[in-house]
């Protein structure tokens, strides 16, 4: 049985800013873009969360909820440098580290003999080192698989540790709300609720056939997770599946023609980002993302080779027809072919 630790830095960007300026520690702060540029909140500290502020919230809305919110423009080079320090500590424990983002990762410590082979003690040691050497806090979850470890790391946030032992899995998962399962968003959650499914125990009472009929391939995943089963290994390489760019506009684009005029600049930026990949992988599809002025959004995709820019224009037209209203954000991207094993990209 595996021993997996999921480590998640608490409000990472905000934590780094509070570390560097202790005067920010007890006041609501958010890292994000300005109101003038119609920015959004990247993350915020816990005093700000008390006002209902959260990541991806428009900055203007965050300031309405908390007029005295301190807004800080992000410093990505600094955050990346701090993340490298944190990941170096992880790799002192095990080389089996799977980065999920700058601030979270899975660690497989199944074969690690340090700390008497106790994953719990390893997690405690990691959290203590990060606090002492980096000056921020990390919450950790310890469990026999990735699914449970990730849920556990969020259980006692911030600065918490939750351990799910093998003999506790059944009781823990049985009572687990289905909304805690990755992939169950608002729409899927409503569909599950309409079927009378609110916990994993409710999922267990449905047959695999019924779940697949309602949710397709995700139905099988729901069935497995409701029993606490997750055989995914920790992967030390990240396979890049897409490259994209997007732009939020200071003024809404009033219609489809205005969106079309913005498309060439977005495609040019996408091509520059793609060419910076080393080496550029094959392209197996294109996508266009549209966020309308009422904050609803849609993504339209084309599968297959992209010999020219024509698919983007067609996708834009199809996507705009779904909302037929002013647009605040446009994005374009490539779906990438799977790289050869020796060209997989790591986080750093």
309 is an annotated ligand-binding site residue = no
Determine which one of 17, 36, 98, 104 is catalytic: 104
Q: In what order do the strands lie in the sheet with 283-292?
A: 242-253, 327-336, 283-292, 297-303
User: With contact defined as beta carbons under 8 Å apart, do 57 and 90 qualify?
Assistant: no
Of 70, 71, 29, nearest to 47 by C-alpha is: 29
Within 10 A of 258 (CB to CB), how many other CB atoms are there? 15
Helix residue ranges, H only, 66-199: 76-93, 119-129, 146-153, 169-174, 186-194
**Secondary structure E strands in the chain:** 4-9, 29-32, 41-44, 70-72, 97-101, 104-108, 138-143, 161-163, 242-253, 283-292, 297-303, 327-336
- Tell me how far apart the alpha carbons of residues 294 and 283 are, in angstroms, rounded to a whole number: 32
Q: Is 104 a catalytic residue?
A: yes
Half-sphere exposure of 107 (CA within 13 A, CB side): 27
User: With contact defined as beta carbons under 8 Å apart, do 306 and 277 qualify?
Assistant: no
103 is an annotated ligand-binding site residue = yes
Residue ranges for the known binding site for Mg(2+) are 8, 103
Catalytic residues: 104
Known binding residues are 8, 103
């Amino acid at each position: 049985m595996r021993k997996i630790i999921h480590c998640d830095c608490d409000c990472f960007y905000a934590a780094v800013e509070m570390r560097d300026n202790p005067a920010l520690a007890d006041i609501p702060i958010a890292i994000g873009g300005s109101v003038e540029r119609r920015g959004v909140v990247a993350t915020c500290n816990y005093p700000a969360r008390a006002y209902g502020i959260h990541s991806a919230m428009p900055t203007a809305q965050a300031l309405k909820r908390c007029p005295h919110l301190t807004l800080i423009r992000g410093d990505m080079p600094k955050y990346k440098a701090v993340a490298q320090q944190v990941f170096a500590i992880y790799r002192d424990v095990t080389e089996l580290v799977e980065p999920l983002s700058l601030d979270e990762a899975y660690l497989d410590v199944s074969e690690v003999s340090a700390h008497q082979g106790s994953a719990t003690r390893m997690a405690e040691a990691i959290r203590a080192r990060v606090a002492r050497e980096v000056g921020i806090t990390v919450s950790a979850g310890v469990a026999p698989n990735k699914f449970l470890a990730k849920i556990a790391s969020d259980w006692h946030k911030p600065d918490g540790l939750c351990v799910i032992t093998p003999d506790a899995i059944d009781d823990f998962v049985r009572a687990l709300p289905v909304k805690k399962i990755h992939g169950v968003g608002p729409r899927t959650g409503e569909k599950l609720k309409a079927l009378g499914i609110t916990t994993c125990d409710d999922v267990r009472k449905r047959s695999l056939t019924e779940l697949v009929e309602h949710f397709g391939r995700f139905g099988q995943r729901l069935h497995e997770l409701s029993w606490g089963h997750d055989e995914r290994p920790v992967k030390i390489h990240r396979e890049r599946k897409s490259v994209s760019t997007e732009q939020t506009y200071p003024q809404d684009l009033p219609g489809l023609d205005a969106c079309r005029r913005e498309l060439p600049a977005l495609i040019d930026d996408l091509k520059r980002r793609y060419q910076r990949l080393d080496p550029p992988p094959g392209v197996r599809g294109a996508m266009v993302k549209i966020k309308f002025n009422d904050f609803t959004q849609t993504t339209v995709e084309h599968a297959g080779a992209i010999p020219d820019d024509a698919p983007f224009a067609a996708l834009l037209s199809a996507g705009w027809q779904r909302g037929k209203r002013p647009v605040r954000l446009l994005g374009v991207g490539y779906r990438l072919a799977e790289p050869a094993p020796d060209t997989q990209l790591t986080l750093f």
